[in-house]
A = this chain, B = another copy of it.
Amino acid sequence: MPTTFSSQPYKGTRDFYPENLQKRNYIFNKWRETLVKFGFLEYETSLLENAEIYIAKSGDELGGKQLYNFYDKGDRFVALRPEQTPSLARIVANKFGDLKFPLRWFSIPNCFRYEQPQKGRFREHWQLNVDIIGLQAGGAELEIMNILAELFKSFGATKNEFKIMYNHREVLDIWLVEAGLGEKKSLVYAVLDDWFKLSLEDNKSKLAKGNDEIPGLTDPEIQTIVELTQKTGNSWEKYLKIAHTFPEIELLLNSVSKIQPDVEFDFNPCIIRGIAYYTGVVFEAFDKNPANHRALFGGGRYDNLMELFDKKAPAIGFGFGDATMNEFLTNWNLWPDFENIQIVRVGLMPFSDSDLVKIYNDIIPKLRTEGKTWEIDYDYQRNEEKRWISLKKRGCIEVLKLN
């Protein structure tokens, strides 16, 4: 009597049966197709990395309680990557002298995070990562926005279904200092980061309350922040004025709607991005379905990350999860009709081993040239009609008897 085990997948992970993998592969293939067309090259790094890389970014959830880390049998402290960007920085640093910059690269890795599984959130998920390394702020920002828009459009999505919002961390920082809120930056950052998830009243009381380190904002200060988030009045005017001093924002404000007129872009001070290493432009895409407030993906400029590996290169990029994309396509009914794009499957019904030789030598070569797939039923002894029915049930459109 053998020991038996549960057949459930490990908590928070998914088994992709063929019908589910077909959907995931549909997403991956669209991503690949679009990026290759836009001149991007695919790379891949190992899942295992030095765990210290993530822990170095202390205070970050990814490097703390969400990290899958352990000691290997040689006592190396390793982690399953929680995100791709540090690995990208590593391999770029490793061949720094040999690579021809700028790099336009992408990858579709699986990433692991120890978090509470919930709808659309898993402990293992796949994430398209798109990055340009070696270009200063400027045209690269426009190029990335254009690719974002094209990625959505490749699935048939329109401005009714999604919008892309962007911001600039330095603009916000300068504005905060000018508004006399420089000392309260981390509090304002934290509240803005969740702005769309809460009601206006809740946001205001969070600002009023402060936290352990930072006292709450005064009523006029809160009013200033509210004005900013509503993009009205003096606050927003000042914000825009600062923004126009950054050529990459100037470029986006002037041109992004010209090059993608059928996509909604929104320059918005509430876009912050949780990840610590962003330095300039940050952006997120939102599902316009009011029931789905979560950002579909996000990214930004990260000019200092290569310093982890003792190199320096400007960079911009974003990540896009398979589970959120899957949900988006389902919400808006954007899946193709998989049944109809299946290739014709022919059921083959031999009655002896010598029929098998005939099948391989005569029938299969013909089916292959016709682009048809097939499957063979080997139950020679079984009732003919039952064999026919079972092949039909398994999806065979035609059945071919060998006698």
A394 lies within 8 A of chain B by Cβ: yes
Contact B18 A56 (CB under 8 A): no
- Interface residue ranges of A6-39 to B (CB < 8 Å): 6-11, 13-18, 21-22, 24-25, 36-39
* A71→B45 CA distance, assembly (Å): 24
A259 lies within 8 A of chain B by Cβ: yes
CB of A8 to closest CB in B, whole Å = 7
Of B6, B7, B65, B105, the contact of A18 (CB 8 Å cutoff) = B105
A245 lies within 8 A of chain B by Cβ: no
A375 lies within 8 A of chain B by Cβ: yes
Contact B393 A100 (CB under 8 A): yes
Contact A10 B48 (CB under 8 A): yes
- Interface residue ranges of A343-360 to B (CB < 8 Å): 343, 345, 350, 353, 356-357, 360
Contact A21 B42 (CB under 8 A): yes
CB of A190 to closest CB in B, whole Å = 24
Contact B378 A135 (CB under 8 A): yes
A234 lies within 8 A of chain B by Cβ: no
A374 lies within 8 A of chain B by Cβ: yes
Contact B39 A4 (CB under 8 A): no
A74 lies within 8 A of chain B by Cβ: yes
A254 lies within 8 A of chain B by Cβ: yes
CB of A302 to closest CB in B, whole Å = 13
What is the size, in residues, of chain A's interface with B at 8 Å between Cβ atoms? 94
* Residues from chain B with Cβ under 8 Å of A378 in the complex: 135, 138-140
CB of A346 to closest CB in B, whole Å = 9
- A254-B146 contact given A18-B41, A72-B114, CB 8 Å threshold: no
* Residues from chain B with Cβ under 8 Å of A104 in the complex: 375
Of B16, B18, B44, B374, the contact of A45 (CB 8 Å cutoff) = B16
CB of A121 to closest CB in B, whole Å = 15
Of B4, B47, B74, B373, the contact of A38 (CB 8 Å cutoff) = B373
Q: Bits for A71-112, please: 1 = Cβ < 8 Å to B, else 0.
A: 111101010100000000011011100001000110000101
CB of A21 to closest CB in B, whole Å = 5
Contact B90 A39 (CB under 8 A): no
Contact A21 B44 (CB under 8 A): yes
A237 lies within 8 A of chain B by Cβ: no
* A3→B42 CA distance, assembly (Å): 29
* A65→B74 CA distance, assembly (Å): 11
* Residues from chain B with Cβ under 8 Å of A18 in the complex: 41-43, 105
Contact B10 A357 (CB under 8 A): no
- A356-B255 contact given A5-B56, A39-B345, A65-B73, CB 8 Å threshold: yes
Of B25, B36, B143, B375, the contact of A39 (CB 8 Å cutoff) = B375
A60 lies within 8 A of chain B by Cβ: no
* Residues from chain B with Cβ under 8 Å of A333 in the complex: none
- A94-B46 contact given A114-B72, A251-B353, A374-B39, CB 8 Å threshold: no
* A24→B368 CA distance, assembly (Å): 25
* Residues from chain B with Cβ under 8 Å of A368 in the complex: 37
Of B11, B48, B95, the contact of A124 (CB 8 Å cutoff) = B48
Closest to A104 in B: B375
- Interface residue ranges of A122-137 to B (CB < 8 Å): 123-124, 135
CB of A97 to closest CB in B, whole Å = 12
Known: A73-B114, A139-B376. 17 other contacts (CB 8 A): A3-B308, A4-B307, A4-B309, A5-B52, A5-B308, A6-B50, A7-B310, A10-B49, A10-B50, A11-B74, A11-B76, A14-B46, A17-B91, A21-B44, A36-B373, A39-B345, A139-B378
7 A-B contact pairs sorted by A residue (CB < 8 Å): A5-B90, A13-B46, A36-B343, A47-B124, A139-B350, A142-B356, A259-B357
Top 3 A-B residue pairs of the complex, sorted by shortest distance between their CB atoms: A70-B70, A13-B46, A259-B360
